[in-house]
């Protein structure tokens, strides 16, 4: 599936009440769920790596849905955001500034 196909299909499930505030707030909740699965795997051990990865993939899908909604709410697409991110990373690599901190490096 192409990323633009995902965006269209994913947003077809968006409820009217899932407004832009919901998308931003629930992104944090979904990331929290991802962290929780990882923390429990550390605490309890990872007996079934495949099941653990399946849980992580489900949470990553939920995160992707939220990011898609936020992108759409700001007049962008995942493809545009992905391209901008690659441009930024390429510039950092070219400037030898991949490591370090700060947005404008």
Query: Are 77 and 4 spatial neighbours (Cβ–Cβ below 8 Å)?
Result: yes
In-domain check, residue 5: no
- Candidate from 14-23, 26-35, 70-79, 92-101 with smallest mean pLDDT: 92-101
DSSP state of 18: -
Domain containing 45 — which CATH number?
A: 1.10.287
pLDDT digits (tens, 9 = 90+) for 6-60: 999 999 999 999 999 999 999 999 999 999 999 999 999 888 899 999 999 999 9
Residue pair 33/58 in contact (Cβ under 8 Å)? The answer is no
Domain range for residue 64? 19-94
Q: Is residue 13 part of a domain?
A: no
Domain contains 62: yes
Quote the number of domains for the chain. 1
Average pLDDT rounded to a whole number, residues 69-90: 97
Of 101 and 82, which is predicted with more confidence?
82
H helix intervals, 12-48: 20-44
Distance of CA 39 to the CA centre of its chain: 19
pTM beyond 0.75: the answer is yes
């Amino acid at each position: 599936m192409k990323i633009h196909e995902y965006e269209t299909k994913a947003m077809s499930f968006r409820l009217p009440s899932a407004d832009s505030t919901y998308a931003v707030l629930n992104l944090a909740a979904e990331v929290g769920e991802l962290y929780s699965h990882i923390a429990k795997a550390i605490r309890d051990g990872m007996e079934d790596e495949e099941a653990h990865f399946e849980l992580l993939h489900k949470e990553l899908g939920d995160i992707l849905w939220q990011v898609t909604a936020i992108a759409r709410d700001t007049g962008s697409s995942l493809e545009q955001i992905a391209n901008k991110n690659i441009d930024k990373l390429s510039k950092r690599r070219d400037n030898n500034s991949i490591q370090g901190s700060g947005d404008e490096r």
